[in-house]
Amino acid sequence: MKPNRHGTAPSADKPIALRFYGTDREMAAGIKSGHPGAMEALFDRYGSHVERIVNRLLGMDSEFSDVVHDIFVAAYTNIRSLKDDAAIKGWITSLAVFTVRQRIRKRARRRVHWVYDADISEAQSHSPTPSDRELLQVTYRVLDEMNADERITFSLRFIEGMEITEVASACGVSPSTVKRRQRRAEQKFLTLARKFPGLLEQIERGDRWRTQ
C-alpha cells in the first residue's frame, strides 16, 4: 500500500480522499459539506498566496509557520461565513490580514529575519550581504514602531504592491480609510527612518515607493 504524503499508509477501512479539481465555488461548497479533498485543495490552491501575504506583513520569523497554520484553521472553521463561494481568495486574504494584525498587536518587540521584496522560496535560500542584512533589520525596526493598522496598510501598499481598493477589501475598510492610514503610515515611516542613515536614500532609489 502506497504511503500518503505524511509518510504513513492509509488505513484499510478508511476511504482515500480523491484529489479535488473543481472551481473555487465548488471547492468552497465542498469544504462546507466536509469533502476532505476540497479541504486539501484550499491549501494546495492558496497556500503560497497566504504565505506571501504573511511574509509581506510579518517577515520571516520563528512564528511564520504557526501564523499560516492558524489562518487555514480559521478558514476551515469559519468557511460558512463565506457568503460568496466564488470570492474565496479575497476572503482568505482578509483572514490572513486579520490573523497577522492580532499577532502584531500581541508583540511588543520581536526579532525578524526577512528578505525584502522576495518570495518565500527566495527568502529561505537567499544569503543577504552584511549591508543588506542591516537595511532589512533597520526597515523592520521602523515598522515595529508603527501600530498594526498603519504597518499593515504600508506593507500591503508598498511591499506587496496592492492597489488601494485591494487593501481596503483585505482589511475590511473603505478606500478612504486606507488612504488616511496610508498618509499616516508614510509620514511616520519617513519620520522614523530619518534616524537611520542610508534608509531614506535606499527608499528614494527604489521603484516600489517614492516619497512625495
Claim to verify: residue 136 and residue 105 sit in the same structural domain: no
**6 lies in a domain?**
no
Give the tens place of pLDDT for each residue, 81-121.
Answer: 999 999 999 999 999 999 999 888 876 444 333 334 443 34
**Is this prediction's pTM over 0.95?**
no
Q: Which residue from 90, 68, 69, 88 is spatially nearest to 80, judged by alpha carbons? A: 88
From 111, 138, 164, give the residue that closes a domain: 111
Residue 15 lies in a domain: no
Decide which of 84, 111, 138 is a domain's last residue: 111
Residue 129 contacts by C-beta under 8 Å, 6 or more apart in sequence? Answer: none
Same domain? For 91 and 30 the reply is yes
Distance between CA atoms of residues 132 and 57, nearest Å: 19
Note whether 142 and 179 are same-domain residues. yes
What is the predicted pLDDT for the residue at 164? 95
Average pLDDT across the chain, whole number = 78
Same domain? For 197 and 154 the reply is yes
pLDDT in tens, 158-173: 888 899 999 999 999 9
Contact criterion met (CB below 8 Å) for 170 and 162: yes
* 91 within some domain: yes
Over residues 185-209, the mean pLDDT reads 75
Instruction: Evaluate whether residue 5 is within a structural domain.
Output: no
Residue 88: name the closest of 46, 40, 37 by CA: 46
For residues 182-198, give the mean pLDDT.
Answer: 86
- Number of compact structural domains in the chain: 2
pLDDT of res. 106: 76
| Residue 9 forms part of a structural domain | no
Residue 67 domain boundaries: 21-111
Are 68 and 149 contained in the same domain? no
pLDDT at 211 over 80: no
Same domain, 171 and 207: yes
